[in-house]
Amino acid sequence: MRSQTTALILSHFREHGTATRSDVSAALGLHAKTVANAINTLRDNGLLVPAGRRKSDAGRRQELFSINGSHGNYMGLDLGATHIIGILVDANCSVLDRVVFDIRPGLGVEIIVSQLKSIARRLAASSQRTAVIRGAGVCVPGFVDPRSGMSIVAENIVGWRNVHLREILAADTTAPLFVEDSSRALGVAERWVGSVRHASDFMVLDIGYGVGMAIYTGGELYGGTNHKSGEIGHTVVVPDGGVCACGKRGCLETVASGRAIALDARAAAREGRSSILMDLAQGDVDTISAADVSVAANMGDPLAGELLRAAGGYIGIALANAVNLLNPSHVVLGGGLTNAGAILLDSVSEALSLHTMTEIFKELQLSVSGLGVDGSAIGSAMLAMLSASLPTD
């Protein structure tokens, strides 16, 4: 519970500016001693600083604290199948700099790694203008080993296996480096600066090129035996369906992911079923992406709308299965594909309500992430900040 307590306390200071120990204890419903210990640690680590005193009702002068905005900056790197997003934030989570690199399909591992390093160097240089970098987080899809800092495999990036990200980036930043899965990084961001700050049992669905999920139970991330939980994209929605990137058949990702939507759109465009998509791709069918499909759907293209609605239906089914299993209080929909808007999200919500048990659905709050495409990068930076905020014992 310690990391949740720290995260909640920092969020409280971010929202309220200054606060006393008893303000925090009362607002968060936490035991006074727990709050005092956590605030002392944050003060010792330099993240919180004294900010004067205030007289309490009992006449005692209580110490006020606030976040030390100049304590240091944090870097977040999100490496996806289609992009690298790098951001630099200060201790208040204000974004100071942002760099984006689009990954073209089939780009080699070596070039991707070199771009990642180049973005890390640029953000480190940018940070020098304000404060030192206290920590850096990098997230990738697929399986990671946070202890060794290794990205084990990312099925949606061709040839990406056993990439030792911590070692690779060590030359470009001297700050402690944390490696996490992209969907879990999005979960961290939602929990820290998003809409589920006060929830303990929630799911964050990350719908992008692939589909992943961060699961929180009792306020902590549920990691599974070897940190491989949350693979909702590889739950089966079409028995004996198409072959998935994971090697199995009929996974959610084969019918409802950025990758699947792009492939279906290309096939349909080849058959001449969408003039808007052909225009967006300037005639080059192989470049049609899920983002193009979202644009086309919102321009009224019937085929694009049909593809997104079908994908949303499958996502809703997989999500209903997960919700029935774990009874979360909140589900947050995030990731790049949510940019498609109501056309996709309404069909997710419809299928979710149709397939979730009525009693469980009544208790569920469904929302869309407000963090946009930067969610996982922000979460990676937050992860580094959270690790720096905890006692080192």
Q: Which residues contact 108 (CB under 8 A, 6 or more apart)?
A: 159
- The yes or no reply on residue 71 touching Zn ion (CB under 5 A) is no
Span from 2-10, 236-244, 280-288, 325-333 in contact with Zn ion (CB under 5 A): 236-244
Which segment (81-89, 123-131, 245-253, 377-385) binds Zn ion by CB under 5 A?
Answer: 245-253
H or E element: which one contains 380? helix 375-389
Q: Which residues, numbered 161-180, are part of the site for Zn ion (CB under 5 A)?
A: none
- Of 205 and 373, the one with the shorter C-beta distance to Zn ion is 205
Task: CB nearer to Zn ion: give 144 or 252.
Answer: 252
Comparison of 235 and 353: residue with beta carbon closer to Zn ion: 235
Site for Zn ion contains 383 (CB under 5 A): no
Closer residue to Zn ion, CB minimum distance, 90 or 155 = 155
Q: Is 337 in the site for Zn ion (CB under 5 A)?
A: no
DSSP per-residue codes, 145-177: ETTTTEEEE-TTSTT-EEE-HHHHHTTT--S-E
Judged by CB, which is closer to Zn ion: 246, or 285? 246
In the complex with Zn ion, the residue whose CB is nearer, 214 or 244, is 244
The type of residue at 2 is: R
Closest CA to 318 of 273, 366, 255: 255
Partners of 249 in beta bridges: 243
CB of 208 to Zn ion, least distance (A): 15
Q: Residue 36 or residue 246: which is nearer to Zn ion going by CB?
A: 246
Convert 327-336 to b/e letters by CB count within 10 Å (16 or more is b). ebebbbbbbb
Given 24, 77, 131, 244, the residue binding Zn ion (CB under 5 A): 244
Span of 31-39, 227-235, 304-312, 343-351 interacting with Zn ion by CB under 5 A: 227-235
In whole angstroms, give the CA distance from residue 302 to residue 288: 16
**The 220-221 sheet, strands edge to edge:** 220-221, 211-217, 202-207, 330-334, 365-368
Query: From the CA atom positions of the chain, what is the Rg in Å?
Result: 22
Range in contact with Zn ion (rule: CB under 5 A) among 69-77, 234-242, 332-340, 385-393: 234-242
Q: What is the DSSP string of 273-310?
A: --HHHHHHTTT-GGG--HHHHHHHHHTT-HHHHHHHHH
Piece of the chain touching Zn ion by CB under 5 A; list 97-105, 228-236, 308-316, 344-352: 228-236
- Residue 341 CB, shortest distance to Zn ion, in Å, is 26
- The binder of Zn ion chosen from 154, 214, 251, 337 (CB under 5 A): 251
Burial per residue of 215-229, b for 16 or more beta-carbon CB atoms within 10 angstroms, e otherwise: bbeebebbeeeebeb
Q: Please report, to the nearest 10 degrees, the dihedral formed by the alpha carbons of residues 21, 392, 197, 317 taken in order.
A: -160
Piece of the chain touching Zn ion by CB under 5 A; list 2-10, 135-143, 251-259, 356-364: 251-259
The only residue of 12, 191, 234, 330 in contact with Zn ion, by rule CB under 5 A:
234
Closest separation between CB of residue 251 and Zn ion, Å? Answer: 3
Instruction: Give min distance, CB of 260 to Zn ion, in A.
Output: 11
Considering the rule CB under 5 A, would residue 246 count as an interface residue with Zn ion?
yes
CB nearer to Zn ion: pick between 233 and 316: 233
- Closest CB to Zn ion among residues 251, 332: 251
Question: Which DSSP string corresponds to 11-70?
Answer: HHHHHHSSEEHHHHHHHHT--HHHHHHHHHHHHHTTSEEEEEEEE-TTSPEEEEEEE-TT
SS3 97: strand
Place of tokens 């963090």: 371
Contacts with Zn ion by CB under 5 A: the residue count is 5
Shortest distance, CB of residue 328 to Zn ion, whole angstroms? Answer: 23
Tell whether residue 237 is a contact of Zn ion (CB under 5 A): no
- The reply on whether position 211 binds Zn ion by CB under 5 A is no
Nearest to 188 by CA among 392, 390, 385: 385
Comparing C-alpha atoms, which of 154, 159, 153, 87 is closest to residue 120?
87
Residues forming contacts to Zn ion in the complex (CB under 5 A) are 234, 244, 246, 248, 251
